[in-house]
Amino acid sequence: MPKHDTDTSLPQPIMALAPDQFATLMESFQKTASSSASPELTKILEVMQAMVEANTANTTQIRDQVDRSVMRSNADHEHLSVFTYKNGCPHCASGTRHPDDPGVFGSGKLGHPPVPLTSAEAVYWPYGCRVWPDQCTILELELLNQFKPGTSYYARDRQWKATWSDDKRQLQIDAPVYFVDNRNSLPALPQVLTELLYGQEAADPTNALAVIADLQKRLTELETKKEVRA
């Protein structure tokens, strides 16, 4: 039979419990104490609970001290980048500071507050490559948020497609990228998303310019009518 090593000089294994495991253990002990009404066990539970609370408070204090002592690189940056510029925003266009809103993350900066990804928990483009929100422009995030969970979108004779996982929580956007020619012919992601959502005409830059000109004309006419009525 194999012999067990009883040398106490060797490092002994350490048993560690995760916070949820410890909480389950404490709950079991408390149920046992309430059923048996043992004063000794109740006292042990009180001591253990006090130790946990003291350790939690000490850990929080150490974390706060470290946060205050560590110099944050670029702590007062203004979030100015291509990812924080929103077309049509007067503050972005004029380079002025955005209003400080306590309920909006990243407000009060020169850069536009980030737009959260709300339509899906995860987006993949192309197949298997995850798209992270902090690596997207505001326009890309606004377009991604327009995809409705469970609805499939197709373009370019169904060569471009946007489909959902079975639980409707992950959006997969695909297009031919197998060869170099395929990748070189792909437009920017905003154009791909626009074409999937609204069709090829909406994503055509020439057609878009015509639409913008028509909308500008209608806006001017409405403003003129408003002035006449006033």
Question: What pLDDT was estimated at residue 46?
Answer: 73
Q: Give a yes or no: residue 226 inside a domain.
A: no
Shared domain check, 121 and 110: no
pLDDT at 186: 87
What predicted TM-score, i.e. pTM, was given to this entire model? 0.59
How many domains are there within the chain?
2
Residue 35 lies in a domain: no
Q: Does 164 share its domain with 182? A: yes
pLDDT digits (tens), the chain, 230 positions: 455 555 556 555 555 555 666 667 667 766 665 555 566 766 777 777 777 777 777 777 777 776 666 665 555 677 888 888 888 889 988 989 988 888 887 788 888 888 899 989 889 888 778 889 888 999 999 999 999 999 999 998 999 999 999 999 999 999 888 888 888 888 888 989 999 998 877 777 777 777 778 888 888 888 888 777 76
**Domain end among 58, 90, 114:** 114
Q: Of 142, 140, 122, which Cα lies nearest the Cα of 131?
A: 122
Q: What is the pLDDT of residues 33-58, one digit of tens each?
A: 555 556 676 677 777 777 777 777 77
Report if residue 20 sits inside a domain.
Answer: no
Each residue's pLDDT tens digit, 148-174: 999 999 998 999 999 999 999 999 999
Domain boundary at 114, 138, 167, which? 114
Residues 85 and 142 in one domain: no
Measured distance CA(66)–CA(60) in Å, rounded = 10
Establish if 52 belongs to a structural domain: no
Specify whether 104 is located in the same domain as 126.
Answer: no
Does 146 fall in a domain?
yes
Would you state the pLDDT for residue 7? 57
Range of the domain at 136: 116-198
Tell me: do 121 and 194 sit in the same domain. Answer: yes
Between CA 127 and CA 26 the distance in angstroms is: 46
Same domain, 141 and 194: yes
pLDDT of residue 15: 53
The Cβ of residue 90 has, within 10 Å, a number of other Cβ atoms equal to: 9
Residues 93 and 140 in one domain: no
Q: Answer whether 138's CB lies under 8 Å from 85's CB.
A: yes
- 68/213 Cα distance (integer angstroms): 54
Q: Do 108 and 181 lie in a common domain?
A: no
**Residue 131 sits in the same domain as residue 183:** yes
What pLDDT was estimated at residue 100?
A: 87
Report the b/e string of 5-43 with b at 16+ CB within 10 A.
eeeeeeeeeeeeeeeeeeeeeeeebeeebeeeeeeeeee
In a domain, 34, yes or no: no
Domain membership flag for residue 95: yes
Q: What pLDDT, on a 0 to 100 scale, did the predictor assign at position 172?
A: 93
Q: Does residue 37 lie in a domain region?
A: no
- Pinpoint the alpha helices (H) of 159-229: 180-185, 189-198, 200-203, 205-229
Of 114, 139, 171, the residue at which a domain comes to its end is 114
